[in-house]
Structure 1
Amino acid sequence: MITIQRLLTALTGVLLCFATLGAQAQDRDITYNSHVAQIINENCVVCHREGGIGPMQFESYDQVRPWAPLIQMRVANREMPPYAYDQHIGIQELEGDWRLAQEEIDTIVEWVNQGSPLGATDIIPPAVDLPNTDAWNFTASLGEPDLIVPSVPMDIPANGNDLWSKHFVESGLEQDRCIKAVQVKPRGDAKAVVHHANSDVWVPNEEGEYEDYGQLTEYAMGKWGELVPDGVCRTLPAGSRVRWSIHMYPGGVGATARGQEVKDNVVEIGLWFHDEDYAETEQPYKQDLRSYGMREGYENGHLIVPPHGFTMTQGFHSFDHPVRLDSFQPHGHLRMNAASLEIFYPETGRTEQISQISNWSATWHHSHIYSSDAAPLLPTGAVLVIKQWYDNSADNPNNPDPDQWVYGGSRTGDEMSHAWIAVTHLDDEGYDRLLAERKERSERSVAGND
């Protein structure tokens, strides 16, 4: 009994401590100039500015203040910035992670609760350094692309049915190169119109005929780009051709859709390469990007989402050698609303949660790029378990018509069930080495030596 009383006393003290800290946060005067402007400038203005894709501008207090209650709601619900990835489930160490820290969210929420004050006028918020709206996303860290592969120009009407363009473009490469980063960029006025822009690589065989070599990259609306980890190589071969497969939706999809005709739209692939001798000097492992399908949950071989109904699909994939998962990007259309990635280990019967996206949206496709120190390492025979959920009810804000039967297909109004996953293919030696390095870093961290 004495032990229980001591535990209760300790717990009460901890709760009182947290309550005191919360009260102190609420008692603090939070203003735009001193606290909020920097958060908005660093996380929101990149889209919400003149010429940006955001529907309103947040470049000054006068522009932000009328939208403060909406900003509070979207930020508190983690709907903005638009990076849907569940907190506290699976791997959280991601490259290009747009999510706000909880402290930043709390600051904005309390600022609005206090009436969204401007604050002292002699305090000047830090100026925001914004790239050009048409700039490449990796220019600041990697410079301009080493190679740009453009599509052919396309005219997209203001309305009508889905359109597709499939064509080849020469890469112009004279030697094999290892890719460091890649981004697909529609023109600014077509970002809401280009539904996806996939590209695969074709190379000549011994007879001089071109055949499919593999996926170069994938783009879907809102995607930031892909970073390839050090020590691996995703190859673009010499003499290769790039085969474009571009899906366009006239008028556009989502809040940024302009509903206007787009003339001579060109979609571009920007590629950043490692040094020419990288493959020879580093002896990197091979990385590839592939589509992994989910067919469990199909009805008689078909993906079907009934009117006002729900569907879940799942797929299972394994490898005959060790691998590392470098990124995970679920793909679907307007009824899809959630996805997850797990790993099942047959030898132990254990299932490990890797990623969960519970508020997925077709207007913001993200390739969730795992930090190389945290990316999942799979032994031979481990099983990827990929799941996606679909909501054809009126409660789904992206649903254009809950009365429709929805089937699997390529149109925007159809549905798809696959995920794009970048995989580094290891051997036993490389797998054991990476495990040992992680164990060593973990032990140093526990010992306080990092």
Structure 2
Amino acid sequence: MMYQKALKTLLVFAAFPALSSAQEAATHPTYAKEVSRIIQENCQNCHQPGSIGPMSFMSYEEVRPWAPLIQMRVANREMPPYHYDNDVGIQHLQNDWRLSQEEIDTIVDWVNAGSPLGNPEELPEPKMYPAVDEWRLAAEFGQPDHTIKSEAWDVPANGQDLWWKPIVDSGIDESRCIKAVETRPSAAAIGSTHHANSHFKVLNEKGEWVDGDRLSEFAIGKLGEKVPEGACRKVPANSKVEWEIHYFPDGNAVPNDQVTIGIWYHDEEDGFVEEESYPQDLRAYFLSASTDDYMIAPHGKLMTQGFRSFDHPVRIDSWQPHMHLRGVAMSLEVFYPETGRTEVLSQASNWTSAWNHSHTYEEGYQPLIPAGATLIMTAWYDNTADNPMNPDPDQWVGSGQRTTDEMSHAWIAVSHLDDEAYEALLTERKERDNSSVASLDGGAQ
């Protein structure tokens, strides 16, 4: 009886010949048809010769040896490097680097199938990417309308943290509304430029140069900053720009290094006349999550918090966490005192100082904060050996400017609103949400 059952099984398998290579390829993703397009759209911008990626992914031959590592990093959502939680807070973001679950599954299935090339005729046309020394926002806005350079600085090959804080003329002779701004380090010093902050200096009534609004910031991974529709972020005429450039030598000496800011203006016909503009005054706020007196114990962990409220309504347009090597997570919440309710706006539970993203909310989904509500920023630190970025878990770590010190703040773009503008935005969103619900109900009938 067992023999007959085995024979029947054998006959069943014999009735189905082995799949041809073409049939087999149709059962799983291939590099040529599916994976190459995911790599092209999400990886090659950094993984190309001369860019910041440690290896090039410009062809199948370059990608194939790294397939198992790519699978692991993609499945764990470590690559592309965009550290923003998928299931907490606002998910409508501009320039979102995160892969969809379908894209992740495609790469995982491809590697599990042996990382096949597939039909080379299905490969996409090569894509051209901006060089490291080109403006990232130029693809959308063209070349900047105005540029500002720092004074030259000789970056040594080796040494400790260095700060360069020159003050230069802005070269701006009339006040205009900014459409976008980007800070770009030199290609030669991109590895040693930890960050570059800048702010305006303006003359007060006494003829003294005083600090004005923040201008821009560079940190590894940051694209630039785009001003939301309807908001006028003004540059002051006849102003100066004060830089704070933090260098950390990486083994390559760069003489006469300069960092450059590119500014794109709104067209004058856009109607941004101060008296007639939409009542928004966009500024970038530095929100600290702690005082400066904390210490993280050796092999210890720490949580800090900071708070900020406004006496008028505001709109939060973007959120960019910033910590150093022991920083591992940050969240942004809002507390509504009238109801006692706390809402999570954004959270990054697997944050790393290797990348700094300005998370810009999509138009119509920016958090609207009523007057009197409190923003809460929470930061978490891990000074143990479990933190892969930690250079020495035996050290006490306090707040400071050095890379080995800690920070806990966020750059937050804030549009200031009057009551009328706030209510108008609330009404627009209620109408949109009601329309969406009605559409869903109609589709279900």
- With the length of structure 2 as denominator, give the TM-score of the two structures: 0.90
Task: Give unmatched runs, 5+ long, in structure 1.
Answer: 1-25, 252-258
Matched residue, 2:257: 265
- Please say if residues 178 and 279 of structure 1, whose CA atoms lie closer than 8 Å, have aligned partners that are also in contact: no
Q: Tell me the residue number matched to 2:284.
A: 289
Residue 272 of structure 2: which of 268, 275, 278 is its match? 278
Partner of 1:14: none
Q: How far did residue 332 of structure 1 move?
A: 0.9
Using the alignment, how far apart are the partners of 2:278 and 2:106 within structure 1? 48
More displaced 10-residue stretch of structure 1: 125-134 or 40-49: 125-134
Matched, 1:356 2:347: yes
Q: Distance in 1 between matches of 2:216 and 2:267?
A: 20
| 2:178 matches 1:184 | no
Q: Does 1:48 align with 2:42?
A: no
1:372 CA displacement: 2.2
On the 8 A contact 2:36/2:123 being kept in 1, the answer is: no
Q: Which moved more, 1:270-279 or 1:361-370?
A: 270-279
Q: Which residue of 1 aligns with 2:412?
A: 421
Query: Which deviates more, 414-423 or 203-212?
Result: 203-212
SS of equivalent residue, structure 2 residue 414: strand
TM superposition shift of 1:284: 4.3
Q: Distance in 1 between matches of 2:120 and 2:197?
A: 50
Q: Which has the larger radius of gyration?
A: 2
Q: Distance in 1 between matches of 2:96 and 2:420?
A: 31
Query: After TM superposition, what 4+ stretches of structure 1 lie above 6 angstroms from structure 2?
Result: none
Deviation at 1:278, TM superposition (A): 1.8
Matched to 1:355, the amino acid is S
Aligned residues: 414
Q: Which amino acid aligns with 2:408?
A: S
Secondary structure of 2:245's aligned partner: strand
Per the TM alignment, residue 393 of structure 1 is displaced from its structure 2 partner at its CA by: 0.8
Distance 1:53 1:271 in 2: 24
Matched to 1:313, the amino acid is T
The corresponding residue for 1:207 is: 206
Q: Which residue of 1 aligns with 2:243?
A: 244
In 2, the alpha carbon distance for the partners of 1:64 and 1:420 equals 36
**Following the alignment from structure 1 to structure 2, what is the Cα–Cα distance between the partners of residues 282 and 101?**
38
Over the residues paired in the alignment, what is the CA RMSD in angstroms?
Answer: 1.7
Q: 2 CA distance for matches of 1:222 and 1:440?
A: 36
Question: Amino acid of the residue matched to residue 148 of structure 1?
Answer: T
Q: Contact 2:149–2:259 at 8 Å: present in 1 too?
A: yes
- After superposition, the C-alpha distances for 1:254-289 in whole angstroms (9 at most, x for unaligned) are xxxxx2112221111111111235234534410111
Secondary structure of the corresponding residue to residue 35 of structure 2: helix
Q: Are 1:102 and 2:97 counterparts?
A: no
Contact 1:323/1:424 (8 A) holds in 2: yes
Deviates more, 1:217-226 or 1:415-424: 217-226
The AA in structure 2 aligned to 1:186 is P
Cα distance between partner residues in 2 of 1:431 and 1:220: 32
Q: Give the Å deviation of 1:128.
A: 1.8
Q: 1:311 aligns with which of 282, 302, 318?
A: 302
- Structure 1 residue 27, shift from structure 2 partner: 8.6
Report the equivalent of 1:446: 437
Displacement after TM superposition at 1:205 (Å): 2.0
Q: Spell out, residue by residue over 1:2-60, the C-alpha distance to the aligned partner (whole angstroms, 9 max, x if none).
A: xxxxxxxxxxxxxxxxxxxxxxxx99321100110010011111111111111101011
Matched residue SS, 1:219 = strand
Aligned: 1:82 with 2:76: no
Contact 2:279 2:421 in 1 (8 A): no
SS of alignment partner, residue 446 of structure 1: helix
Contact 2:195 2:219 in 1 (8 A): yes
Tell me: CA distance 1:209–1:104, structure 2 relative to 1, closer, same or farther (3 Å).
same
Aligned amino acid, residue 291 of structure 1? F
| 1:321 to 1:405, Cα distance in 2 relative to 1, 3 A | same
Partner Cα separation in structure 2 for residue 218 and residue 56 of structure 1: 27
1:129 corresponds to which letter in structure 2? M
Q: State the TM-score, normalizing by the size of structure 1.
A: 0.89
Question: Residues of 1 paired with 2:301 and 2:293: CA distance?
Answer: 14
1:394 counterpart = 2:385: yes
Deviation of 1:179 after TM superposition, in Å, equals 1.0
Partner letter of residue 429 of structure 1? E
What residue identity is the alignment partner of 1:278?
A: F
For residue 148 of structure 1, what is the aligned residue in structure 2? 147
Distance in 2 between residues matched to 1:216 and 1:434, nearest whole Å: 26
